[in-house]
Structure 1
Amino acid sequence: MALVVDWLDACRNRDLATLLDLYADNATLECRCGEPKISEGRAGLESYWRQRLDAPAPTAFGLEEIMPTTEGVVLDYLSHEGKPVRIAFSFTRAGKIQATQCLPVADLPQPAAGLQDYAG
């Protein structure tokens, strides 16, 4: 869970280099907040995150809840727009982020749905 807290801190600090260093070289990011988007590798992640860290909302990257799961960690937080989002993290054995999947909390099947219901 410490890596997820570091991830959130890098987002809050708008520190793109530190954020990217938390991901594995071949990491993937699947975002379903609006138009579905999949980003892969450092270049894809940089493109995705650069625009989101450029001018975040004042409430952006606020922690709502963090939950360990059998597959990794689930984080409920406020997006760069200040909207509630759930993101599921999985990790490499070396302790880097391998994959993330995010979805607006409003789109979850039920408010208390666990990662197994969301990230499969």
Structure 2
Amino acid sequence: MTNQFDEMAVVVDWLDCCRSRDLEALLDHYADDARLECACEGSSISGRSALADYWRPKLSAVASSAFGLEEISPRGNGVVLDYLSFEGRRVQIVFGFDAEGRISHMRCAPSSQ
């Protein structure tokens, strides 16, 4: 079954929300029960409220190079994004999606590049 949405475009839109610091628009990209596994901070969270708590401080204090796109590519049934975090550090995120094109899970870790 092929997805009826462009996963790469969803990730680019997600990154644009980070750049514009638009928390509500960012949260709208997630499924209601979305999970985030963050190896950068050693945390695992799920749900809109927890995602808001995770992203709010990151969007309010950003480095000048924050949310710069390094590389984006499809992988299996998801997308891999290498980008510069809110601190300007290289991070890699693997995105997975639900049938409606919303982010169902993410796994991030410091980039090995």
Letter in 1 for 2:69: L
Give the paired residue count: 106
The structural deviation recorded for 1:11 is: 0.1
2:46 corresponds to 1:40:
yes
- Distance in 2 (alpha carbons) for counterparts of 1:7 and 1:51: 17
Letter in 2 for 1:10: C
Cα deviation per residue 1:8-39 (whole Å; 9 max; x = unaligned)? Answer: 00000000000000000000011111x30111
User: Which residue, 5, 12, 18 being the options, matches 1:5?
Assistant: 12
The structural deviation recorded for 1:58 is: 0.4
Tell me the residue number matched to 2:96.
Answer: 90
Q: Which runs of 4+ in 1 moved over 4 A?
A: none
The structural deviation recorded for 1:90 is: 0.1
Tell me the residue number matched to 2:56.
Answer: 50
1:14-33 matched pairs, under 5 angstroms:
14-33=21-40
- Distance in 2 (alpha carbons) for counterparts of 1:31 and 1:100: 8
- In the superposition, the TM-score normalised over structure 2's length comes to 0.91
Unaligned 5+ segments in structure 2 are 1-7
Identity %: 57
SS in 2 for 1:3: helix
The structural deviation recorded for 1:71 is: 2.4
- Distance in 1 (alpha carbons) for counterparts of 2:97 and 2:44: 17
Does 1 or 2 have the higher relative contact order (CA < 8 Å, sep 6+)? 2
2:68 corresponds to 1:67:
no
Unaligned 5+ segments in structure 1 are 112-120
- In the superposition, the TM-score normalised over structure 1's length comes to 0.86
SS in 1 for 2:96: strand
2:86 corresponds to 1:80:
yes
Q: How large is the Cα RMSD of the aligned pairs? A: 0.8
Tell me the residue number matched to 1:118.
Answer: none
